[in-house]
Each structure stands twice: as C-alpha cells, then as structure tokens.
Amino acid sequence: MEKSPELNNNQNLNSSLQREKWCGHELLYKFQNFWFPLAYLEATQKVLANFKPVPKDVILASFPKTGTTWLKALLHSIINRSPKQDYNNHPLISNRPHDLIPSLETKLYVDQENDSKKTEFLAVKNPEDVRILATHIPYQILGEVLNSCECKVVYVTRNPKDTLISLWHFVQKSHLFDEDPWELEVAVDQFCNGVVPFGPYYDHVLAYRQEFLKRPQKVFFVTYEEIKENPKHYVRKIGEFLGCPFEGENGEEEIEEIVRFCSFENLSNQEMNKSSELPIDFPMPYNSFFRKGEVGDHINYLEDEMIQKIDAVTKEKFHGSDFVYGV
C-alpha cells in the first residue's frame, strides 16, 4: 500500500533527528526538544496534522506515570454522572479507564489497522456531547492545537521522584526489556537529563503550569498529591471547572461515590484492571497501570545520592521557575 505524502515526509524528517538509546533496544527521538519512541513520534505528528478539537472537548494532559489512569476514571465519572443505585453497572466495571478515554498518540493516531472504535471516538456526532481524550504530548508541541478552540484542559502532575519510580517499575513489567533491564542508576540519570518518553518531565510540567497561570479558565492544573490529600475537594473543583458542578442535596453524596469508586483500592480490584493480558496495541499488561498508588514510594527505592541528584534538578527547574514543588 502506498504511504501518504505526509507520512513519507515525516519519515524523512525523523530519520535525521537526534536519537538516544533508552532501555532495551528502544531508541528515543528528539523532536522539538522532547524525546519520543518512534511510534509515538509518528502518531504525534499525525495528531498535529489531523486532530481538530471542538469547544466541548475535555483534554486530559499529563506526563506518563503521574496519575493519568486515575484522572481518566475521575473525569469520566464527573462528566457522566451515575445515580448511586447504578454503581453496580458503572462503565468502569466493564471497561478499563484507557478504553473509555483513549489517548491521542498512543491509541487514536497510532499506526494500526483502521479500527471503527477509533473513528467513533474521533467523530463529533452532536456538538453538545463531551469527548474526553488524553494526551502526553507536551504543551510546547500541542499548544497551538489546544488553543485552536475553547476546549478545556485538565493537567495532572506528580512529584518527580515518585513519577520516576513509577516509570521504572512500569518499564520492568515489559518483556521487551528483559535482556537489558533499565538499571535504576541509569534511570535516574536519564530522567534528570530529560531522556525518557515525552521528557524532559520538568519542561512538560512547567509549560502546562504556565498556561494554567495565564488562563485558569482553560487549563486546570492539579498534583497527584493534592488529590490524594483531599479528593472530594478536587472532584468538586474539577466539576466546577468543567461546567458541571455538584449541586443540590445529592451533590455531596455524588462526590463521595465518585471518590470511592475511582479510588486505587476499588479500581485496582476490578477484574478488567487486574488482567495480566497484553492489549493488542501496547507492550504492557493491563494491570501494569495499577501498582501501589501511594505518595512517597520513592523512598523505598532511591538511595540518598539519587535523591540529592533529582532534588538538585527539581530546585533548579521548578523552584527556579517559582513552582515550589517536588523536593
């Protein structure tokens, strides 16, 4: 089959990009100052060329391993309210969060056979319907697309040390890297240097945060730790931000149900999420998206020297940009 001119052009462009070995045999390609596995780079280029958000869209943006799965579940539940008695038939019992809220570059625009589900997700049938789509593409690259209409963006981030440890565990779940495991010391260095998928983490976070500071009506910025500490408060806030506030006498109860249903304990125990099967389009088993779900787990893995190394970068990048977070 002939490839489209757009794809051929990108392939020519990509073959000239700087590359770095990441783990296993995986290479990362540097595109507009961020690092991508090739498949996601090509998908990102397709997103840039073809994705047109509409004003009702809600885009969940995040760096990998910062709580994307959790926010997928929360956003879906906040936007599609279930009456309490319906929780036994909740869509998150029969669907995984990643199936309900697909990612632009890892699911919808990735090069695979045309599947009707993808077309369905991308079709805007009724302008009043809310589509929820996720992405790890940095704001520096996707900003123009996101600002092309009044869609809303919810960005979640997580402290850098827990993000790295979560990523490190995640990678270990893939048999792709069995022969050449990602040593923790190497992982720390690569994370600090930004050479991880969708990295540098710090630049990713700071650009979405800046956009939130500039346009809080467009971007909602929240940390994993903030939601962990006060989930009800943030479910309420997200509802308000998205224009679907929790009101009336049932409001408080609805919030409590959403928090309970989307908790790590509940979601990680759903049969769909416990499965060790591999999705057709992803090298990690379904259950790899649920590991421990705790704040501060890095302390169990990182040596003092590694912590100091990451903290030094965090202070320089985050604190130096007035974001006092992550140390």
Segment contacting ligand A3P (CB under 6 A): 34-42, 114-122, 243-251, 263-271? 263-271
Of 65 and 76, the one with the shorter C-beta distance to ligand A3P is: 65
Considering only 39, 95, 122, 264, the residue that binds ligand A3P (CB under 6 A) is 264
Considering only 164, 267, 310, 313, the residue that binds ligand A3P (CB under 6 A) is 267
* CA 292-44-168 angle, 5° bins: 25
Residue 212 contacts ligand A3P per CB under 6 A = no
Segment contacting ligand A3P (CB under 6 A): 20-28, 38-46, 100-108, 259-267? 259-267
For residue 319, indicate whether it is catalytic: no
Give CA–CA dist 246/152, Å, rounded.
Answer: 18
Convert residues 283-312 into a mask of x (bound to ligand A3P by CB under 6 A) and - (unbound): ------xxxxx---x---------------
Which position among 76, 90, 98, 136 bears the catalytic label?
136
Give CA–CA dist 39/283, Å, rounded.
Answer: 12
Convert residues 166-185 into a mask of x (bound to ligand A3P by CB under 6 A) and - (unbound): x--x----------------
What part of residues 46-105 is at the interface with ligand A3P (CB under 6 A)? 62, 64-70
Question: Nearest to residue 192, comparing CAs of 291, 289, 294, 316?
Answer: 316
Kindly state the tokens that stand for 65.
């391993």
* The residue type at 279: P
C-alpha distances in angstroms, 315 versus 155, 311, 325?
21, 6, 8
Give CA–CA dist 169/37, Å, rounded.
Answer: 18
Give CA–CA dist 59/46, Å, rounded.
Answer: 17
Least distance between ligand A3P and beta carbon 262 (Å) = 5
Residues whose CB is less than 8 angstroms from the CB of residue 182 and which lie 6 or more positions away in sequence, other chains included: 22, 23, 24, 168, 171, 172
Least distance between ligand A3P and beta carbon 289 (Å) = 5
- Active-site residue numbers? 136
Q: Which residues of this chain interact with ligand A3P, rule CB under 6 A?
A: 62, 64-70, 162, 166, 169, 262-264, 267, 289-293, 297
